[in-house]
Structure 1
């Protein structure tokens, strides 16, 4: 699962190789602009971002504002979101965000010579859109990566990533539902917290 999400996050990074178009009401431009800011930082001071703290700080500052982390967390938990307490929901958003943070950082370090091809974006209902891309790899088949965005408050934000027709939200929902069924919501939160702590310590 981590490999799949890292591939998708790498696709978000590669979006920066396309021409930059700033338009708050254009979901494709949002993806491009976010990635371009990350790439500019890495190109300007790559040695600085070999440090995890600096790299993760860059992701929090530039990428996280473009992610609808609350909606993603809600959809990942599915029916379990409704039965979770407010405190459990808040903790899940925090722990799940930390997981995405580390995954994106991993993807940044994997960047090599891949290129990105944009396909026509699709409207997915009012306030929703899909930015369709293909990662072109020099040593393998192309990989389709779609970014699902929502506009709830005048800003386009990513809430799901679909890699080769496999949804990040659906995959995590299946994995976490099994854990919750076995160990309860607190059991899932403990697993996520322990995993994040072991990586960050």
Structure 2
């Protein structure tokens, strides 16, 4: 999409296409929200080929919440937050 000013909006979608030689293009959309206090934009969702990361995670959490309870969901979230990001492992996925 063409670049445009976003002066009054508080949420926007930024679209991108990942191109890799010999592979099909991957369509991505990053959904961002503007913090009213700091005026910073922060991503809250990524949609890859029409599949929302936020919706997917919500579904996982709902299932875990019903099965294992809130404490288990909170523990899993804390463990995930504390893990370092491994870019080499991410490239293999």
**Is TM more than 0.5 here?**
yes
Q: TM-score, normalised by structure 1?
A: 0.35
Equivalent residue number for residue 70 of structure 2: 185
RMSD in angstroms over aligned alpha carbons? 2.6
Q: Secondary structure at 1:141's aligned position in 2?
A: coil
1:20-99 residue pairs with structure 2 within 5 A? none
Match of 2:15 in 1: 132
C-alpha distance in structure 2 between counterparts of 1:131 and 1:192, whole Å: 27
- Check whether the contact 1:161–1:169 (CA below 8 A) recurs between aligned residues: yes
1:146-157 alignment, distance < 5 Å: 146-153=29-36, 154-157=39-42
Tell me how many residue pairs correspond in the alignment. 80
- The ranges of structure 1 where at least 4 consecutive aligned residues each deviate by more than 6 angstroms after the TM superposition are none
Post-superposition Cα deviations, 1:12-71, rounded to whole Å, max 9, x if no partner, equal: xxxxxxxxxxxxxxxxxxxxxxxxxxxxxxxxxxxxxxxxxxxxxxxxxxxxxxxxxxxx
Partners of 2:79 and 2:10 lie apart in 1 by: 36
Unmatched tracts of structure 1, length 5 or more: 1-118
Tell me which of the two structures has the higher relative contact order, counting C-alpha pairs closer than 8 angstroms and 6 or more residues apart: 1
Q: Deviations over 1:87-118 (max 9, x none)?
A: xxxxxxxxxxxxxxxxxxxxxxxxxxxxxxxx
State the TM-score, normalizing by the size of structure 2: 0.70
Match of 1:170 among 50, 55, 60: 55
Q: Distance in 1 between matches of 2:52 and 2:3?
A: 17
In 2, Cα distance between the equivalents of 1:128 and 1:150?
4
Structure 2 unaligned residues grouped into runs of 5+: 85-93
Shift, 1:139, TM fit: 2.3
How far off is 1:159 after superposition? 1.1
Mapped contact 1:120–1:131 kept (Cα < 8 A)? no
Quick check: which one's helix share is greater? Answer: 1
